[in-house]
Amino acid sequence: MISSEKKKKRQEIKTLLSSFSKECWREKSQKALTHFLGLLTDLGLEEKNCCLGVFAPLKDELDFLDELEQRFSLAFPRRLSNGGMGFFKCKRSDLVADMGFGVKLLVPSTESLQVEPDVLVVPGLAFSWEGERLGRGKGFYDSYLQKFKGASVGICTSEQMTSQIPVEPHDRRVQHLVTDEGYWKFCSQNK
């Protein structure tokens, strides 16, 4: 029942996002960047000493990596041989195309150094006002968040916010949320 609700919600959000123009994505990305940097400042994280766990955005995701790369060290996800996900320090220009997550994504090369990010930027098709997340259905971020000790930040457009997300026991919440309209900090931890 919940999985069919999730599937329906995913399709609804994907349809909405496909209507955004490139200019709309650029505008929303710039606004979200401002709010993301504000959140990091509020959390007391210094640019030079902070490693961000980020992802190479798909065409229906906010993109402000170029600006982040000028201020922080970045680590990108890659599928591990055990089936899990790890983060590896590299530059955006060093990413390579890979099918390790079941779809073609840009990931770090196998020569990259594995690290534990200080802040994990978490993608999602939708988020609730309590930090619940609707991912793309593979569960990689939920598994990673189970053991992650740093700050987790969901990132999306304001249109991707919803009052309720269908959740299952394995689903993990984010601690903070950033959109093109602002940022929020949640008190609740994963349940």
CB-side neighbour CA atoms (13 Å) of 121: 30
Assessment of whether the complete model's pTM goes beyond 0.85: yes
Tens digit of each residue's pLDDT (9 = 90 or more) over 127-168: 999 999 998 878 899 999 999 999 999 999 999 999 888 888
pLDDT at 190: 45
SS3 readout for the chain: CHHHHHHHHHHHHHHHHHCCCHHHHHHHHHHHHHHHHHHHHHCCCCCCCCEEECCCCCCCCCCCHHHHHCCCEEEEEEECCCCCEEEEECCHHHCEEECCCCCCEEECCCCCEEECCCEEEECCCEEECCCCEECCCCCHHHHHHHHCCCEEEEECCHHHEECCCCCCCCCCCCCEEEECCEEEECCCCCC
Interval 105-127: pLDDT, tens: 888 998 999 999 999 999 999 99
The pLDDT, as a whole number, for residue 191 is 42
Task: Grade residue 178 by pLDDT with cuts at 50, 70 and 90.
Answer: very high
In this model, does residue 25 exceed pLDDT 90? yes
What is the arithmetic mean of pLDDT over 75-97? 93
Q: Phi/psi of residue 161, each to 5°?
A: -80, 140
Taking CA atoms, 11 is separated from 14, 17, 34, 135, 161, in Å, by: 5, 10, 29, 12, 15
Reported as a pLDDT band with limits 50, 70 and 90, residue 92 is very high
| Domains present along the chain, CATH in parentheses | 2-73+116-185 (3.40.50.10420)
